[in-house]
Amino acid sequence: MTAQAIYVLWLRDMKWFLRAKSRVISSIATPFLWFAIIGVGLNSMFPPEARYLEFMAPGIVGMTLLFSSTMSGISVIWDKQFGFMKEILVAPVSRIQIMIGKVLGGMTIAMLQGALLLLAIGLFKVIGLIDIRTPGVVQLLQIVVFMVLISISFVSIGLALASTIKDPVAFPVVINFLIMPIFFLSGALYQIGVALPSWLSSLARINPLAYGVDGLRWAICPDRAQFSLWLDFGVMLAFSLAMIFLGGYLFRKISA
């Protein structure tokens, strides 16, 4: 019963995503435009040896996972608005199982978007726009591990916030207020500690996404990484576990 309930909730989120064609298109187009337009524009400001597009590629993957994961919480708010959440909560299924199903659904959607962006980056490599190494089996496994940790962490945050917010209009406002500083202080667009005031650099170094992005850099362009790979993994693992516990605690208090 436990596995079936989790699977049904996961499948429902997947169908909800795939049937919303505008959402699918925008989720693919947005990171692609960031990389193809903003990345190319910023790349023109640096000398060729700076290889800015290679540096930016893991950051845009991290951005895609961050935005998609946190916004997955909106499904909980709509479920509360239309009464579906009340039906789930009175079913003989624990709230932890409900949260696990929602986390897996949000994580899968974010991973799909991240994988599509990685394919686009591979296409840029084929046509000669960027020059990154072709990842081997170990690097691909590393990419998957960090994508999973980033997705789980921020899906849990999205669900935690959704469990305390009832207004579907307020949720995106709160999420954007939270994730924009996280993104810009993650080192996705510029190196942490380079040309930054010390207080801003300190904030960036306590930003968990910075270690997720750096972990992706170790697999895609290791010469641009700033931290230890094991430090990146340890921070993201600890953060994801903490967010799962926080999300589970708040989700158990949810009211339909």
The pLDDT value recorded for residue 255 is: 62
**Structure confidence at residue 149 (pLDDT):** 95
- DSSP readout, the chain? -HHHHHHHHHHHHHHHHHH-HHHHHHHHHHHHHIIIIIIHHHHTTS-GGG-HHHHHHHHHHHHHHHHHHHHTTHHHHHHHHHTHHHHHHTSSS-HHHHHHHHHHHHHHHHHHHHHHHHHHHHHHHHTTS---PPP-HHHHHHHHHHHHHHHHHHHHHHHHHHTT---TTHHHHHHHHHHHHHHHTTTSSS-TTSS--HHHHHHHHT-HHHHHHHHHHHHH-GGG--S-HHHHHHHHHHHHHHHHHHHHHHHTT---
Q: Residue 24 has what pLDDT?
A: 72
pLDDT at residue number 232? 94
Q: State the pLDDT at residue 166.
A: 79
As a whole number of angstroms, the longest Cα–Cα distance in the chain is 61
What's the confidence (pLDDT) of residue 213? 93
**pTM above threshold 0.85:** yes
pLDDT of residue 144: 93
In this prediction, residue 49 carries a pLDDT of: 66
pLDDT of residue 176: 86
What residue ranges of the chain have pLDDT lower than 70? 1-2, 48-50, 128-129, 133, 194-195, 255-256
